[in-house]
Amino acid sequence: MNTTLLAFFIVAFISLVAAWRVITDPSILHAGLWMGLSFVGVAGIFLLLEAEFLAGVQVLVYVGAITTIILFGIMLSDVGEVRVGPEPPGWVQAGAAWHRGLRHAFPLLVAAGFAGTMLGLYTQSGWGQLRERPLELAGLSVGGIGRELFSTFALPFEIASLVLLAALLGAIVLAMREEER
Amino acid sequence: MIPLGYILGFSALLFGLGLYGALTRRNAIRMVMSIELMLNAVNVNFLAFSRYLNPGDPRGSIWAIFVMTVAAAEVALGLAIILMLSRRQDDIDVDKVHSLQG
Amino acid sequence: MLAAYTDVVTFLLVAVLFIAASLFLGGLLRPHHPYPEKLSPYECGKAPIGSGQVRFKVRYYIFALVFLVFDVEALFLYAWAVILRQAGWPALWEGIAFVALLFVGLIYAWRKKVLKWV
């Protein structure tokens, strides 16, 4: 086993465990921090694929900005997840457990079915044997990405700016209306 | 070198975890987080395919960057809506949200 | 190319090991005598009243929001700045249009007085 493969396994494992904790951690603030760790793991995968610029962008946008704004959202909405109420009687708890089991059975089936189908397809397709070819020139460098971005992708680039503008205006309108109440 | 199958397997597992979280969690902020995990898995696929099938072509990276831009916009708006809900009914359980009118 | 990151990984490992070792050694060496007065939260000698959590203003969210949007803008501008010299005039105008569109948002935020720290 070579070093790259070993590094891939470690990074993928950290990222998946962190993603699992995002769903299961009882404290939502901790879940937000685990999400940041999972994003760092994905950035590591990008780095292993020799896409340095994308790894940097992943850290800048996902770890730096999206995790921050979600942590802000958690603190501003101050909604804890665990509500301690009076202890319900035993049969209610059993019913709740049964209900919860039903609630989770179908999504579990869907998610596991999806992941299983994709894994099956990937093994069928023969892509699994495909090896990495050496990178031609500096295609994934900032320059290569920038040249393509400002020629072929000029229109999507301007539309991205429109999308950001719409998000900015919409969120300001929503938040300001709330502040005035 | 990492075989392509391993990377695709990783992204399928990450997407599955995100999907499970988005379907089962009732806390709206946790749903947003799960959706972000799914978008990350999609980005990994974009880059992996572009890197293995057509190395040196930056288009996979560019699409991943656009996905990130849209994800940022989505999080900004989604959290603004969640904040509004939390101020109005001090709860962000998505099952209890019936009113969509301002 | 990846060999260049060996230093980063080494740095990371040393940092993690150092912190783990210091925490472990600290736990081993420090005295441990808890009693109720020591464990109670300190608030100027008085017993604390109410919850420690306060509700922040929604306004703070907008600061994070503006940061998020301009963070994404910065990443596009970085790629733009790198290729600007060789890509020439069309790329310049595209970049200016991009910045101008987002500048509208900044003006709006400014006019709405959301950038003021209150």
Give A-chain residues touching C112 at CB under 8 angstroms: 172, 176
> Per-residue pLDDT for B35 more than 60?
yes
Does residue B81 lie in a domain region?
yes
Tell the residue number behind the tokens 């733009």, with chain if given: C80
- Which chain C residues are within 8 Å of A142, Cβ to Cβ? 78-79, 82-83
**With an 8 Å Cβ cutoff, are C72 and B76 in contact?**
no
Mean pLDDT computed over A138-146 = 74
**Residue in the structure block whose two tokens are 């040196």:** B56
> When comparing pLDDT for C24 and A139, which is higher?
C24
Q: Which domain holds residue B90?
A: 28-95
Calpha distance A161→A163 (Å, rounded): 5
Q: What is the pLDDT of residue A66?
A: 93
How far apart (Å, rounded) are the C-alpha atoms in residues B45 and A101?
A: 32
B54 touches chain A (CB under 8 A): no
Helix (H), strand (E) counts: chain C: 4, 0
C46 phi and psi, to 5 degrees? Answer: -110, 155
Cα three-residue angle A50-A54-A60, rounded to 5 degrees:
135
On the question of pLDDT at C26 being above 90, the answer is yes
The structural domain count of chain B equals: 1
CB-based contact A49:B47 (threshold 8 Å): yes
The answer to whether position B4 is within a domain reads no
Which tokens hold the place of A99? Answer: 């209900």
pLDDT band at A12 (very low <50, low <70, confident <90, very high): very high
Query: pTM of the entire structure?
Result: 0.84
Q: Which residues contact A131 (CB under 8 A, 6 or more apart)?
A: B1, B3, B4, B52
Structure confidence by residue, pLDDT tens digits, B37-74: 999 999 999 998 888 887 778 888 899 999 999 999 99
Domain boundaries, chain A: 1-80, 139-181
CATH 1.20.120.1200 at A1-80, yes or no: yes
Q: Which residues contact A136 (CB under 8 A, 6 or more apart)?
A: B55, B56
Assess if residue B66 is contained within a domain.
yes
Q: Rounded to an integer, what distance in angstroms lies between the CA atom of residue B84 and that of residue A177?
A: 9
Measured N-to-C along each axis, helices B59-89 and A67-77 cross at an angle, to the nearest 10 degrees, of 10
Residue B20 lies in a domain: no
The confidence band for A35, taking pLDDT boundaries of 50, 70 and 90, is: very high
- Which one of B2, B36, B62, B65 would you mutate to disrupt binding with C, by most C Cβ within 10 Å of its Cβ? B65
Residue C53 neighbours by CB under 8 Å, 6+ apart: A78
- Asked if the structure places residue B65 within a domain, the reply is yes
Tell me how far apart the alpha carbons of residues B3 and C10 are, in angstroms, rounded to a whole number.
Answer: 25
Taking an 8 Å cut-off on Cβ atoms, the answer to whether A23 and B21 are in contact is yes
Chain B residues whose beta carbon lies within 8 Å of the beta carbon of residue C72: 68-69, 72
pLDDT at A84: 46
The pLDDT of residue A174: 84
List, in order, residues 6 or more apart from C78 with CB less than 8 Å away: A142
The C-alpha torsion from A21 through C5 and C81 to C72, rounded to 10°, is 0
Domains of chain C: 2-111 (1.20.58.1610)
Phi, psi (rounded to 5 degrees) for B27? -75, 125
The distance of Cα C17 from the centroid of its chain, to the nearest Å, equals: 25
pLDDT digits 0-9 by tens, C78-115: 988 888 888 888 888 888 988 998 899 889 888 887 77
B48: in domain? yes
Residue-by-residue DSSP string for B21-86:
HHHH--BHHHHHHHHHHHHHHHHHHHHHHHHHHSTT-THHHHHHHHHHHHHHHHHHHHHHHHHHHH
In a domain, B42, yes or no: yes
Bridge-partner residues for B93, per DSSP?
B27
Residue B27: pLDDT above 90?
no
Higher pLDDT, A91 or B80: B80
Cα A59-B17-A127 angle, rounded to 5 deg: 80
Q: What is the pLDDT of residues C29-63, one digit of tens each?
A: 988 888 887 777 766 666 666 666 666 777 788 88
Across the interface, do B52 and A133 touch by the CB < 8 Å criterion?
A: yes
pLDDT of residue C50: 66
